[in-house]
């Protein structure tokens, strides 16, 4: 089907079916204009993420929210994809997950839970990225030359990113996380009728997004 004929969300039903066949818990096509971008979102990267400045797909190297807004208006649709992550921890650990993970004086049992949670969380988000790349490929081959996946969580392709040289060594596989460009996924998912449980309850619900031209 040519790109010129794709004017409705229904034309992308094949992507929803593909996402579910890949293991997604849910998937939905929404207008690109319903993707909520806020300046405050990357601020969390700067103030709460230990990976800030260490990956070329993350701030300050990722497009700013203002830059991304200009890009987003050139797209008509977006595919939201939800995946249930295998990570799990007790509620009190979840509510202080960074402290128990990073504080050397944290109780050993809490630190063990937090460490295992992040290990499983990272594995879940790493598995999500190939799924989104395959959906991007399917959309591209269906006549959407500017289809582009945005992933959940920071890039896991390299143990140490090639930040000093300023050139990604996996440009065909590395993609920007949604929050890095300012997307408020909690509000976007809620608006789409696919709400994320937050704070996390049980297994985390991970969201990713595919822009479709």
For the stretch 82-120, pLDDT in tens is: 999 988 888 888 888 888 998 999 999 999 999 998 888
Instruction: List the Cα angle 18/23/25 in 5-degree steps.
Output: 100
Q: What is the C-alpha to C-alpha distance for residues 84 and 26, in angstroms, rounded to an integer?
A: 9
pLDDT the model gives residue 4: 45
The domain ranges of the chain are 3-85+129-155+171-212
pLDDT at 143 over 70: yes
Confidence of residue 7 (pLDDT cuts 50, 70, 90): low
Contact 107, 175 (CB under 8 A): no
pLDDT the model gives residue 174: 96
**pLDDT tens column, 157-188:** 999 999 999 999 999 999 999 999 999 999 99
**pLDDT tens column, 38-52:** 999 999 999 878 889
pLDDT at 3 over 90: no
- What pTM was estimated for this model as a whole? 0.88
CA 138 to centroid of chain Cα atoms: 18
Average of per-residue pLDDT values in the chain: 91
pLDDT the model gives residue 39: 97
Confidence of residue 141 (pLDDT cuts 50, 70, 90): very high
DSSP per-residue letters across 112-133: HHHHHHHHHHHHHHHHHHHHHH
């Amino acid at each position: 089907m040519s790109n010129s004929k794709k004017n409705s969300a229904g034309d992308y039903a094949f992507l929803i079916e593909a996402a579910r066949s890949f293991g997604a818990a849910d998937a939905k096509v929404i207008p690109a204009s319903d993707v909520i971008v806020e300046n405050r979102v990357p601020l969390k990267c700067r103030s709460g993420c230990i990976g800030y400045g260490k990956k070329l797909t993350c701030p300050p190297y990722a497009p700013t929210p203002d830059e991304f807004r200009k890009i987003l208006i050139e797209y008509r649709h977006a595919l939201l994809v939800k995946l249930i992550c295998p990570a799990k921890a007790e509620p009190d650990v979840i509510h202080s997950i960074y402290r128990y993970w990073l504080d050397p004086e944290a109780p050993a049992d809490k630190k063990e839970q937090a460490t295992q949670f992040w290990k499983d969380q990272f594995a879940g988000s790493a598995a999500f990225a190939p799924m989104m790349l395959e959906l991007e490929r399917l959309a591209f081959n269906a006549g959407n030359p500017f289809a582009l996946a945005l992933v959940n969580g920071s890039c896991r392709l390299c143990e140490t990113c090639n930040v000093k040289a300023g050139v990604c060594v996996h440009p065909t596989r590395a993609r920007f996380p949604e929050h890095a460009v300012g997307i408020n996924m909690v509000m976007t998912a809620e608006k789409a009728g696919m709400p994320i449980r937050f704070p996390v309850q049980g297994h985390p619900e991970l969201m990713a997004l595919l822009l479709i031209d």
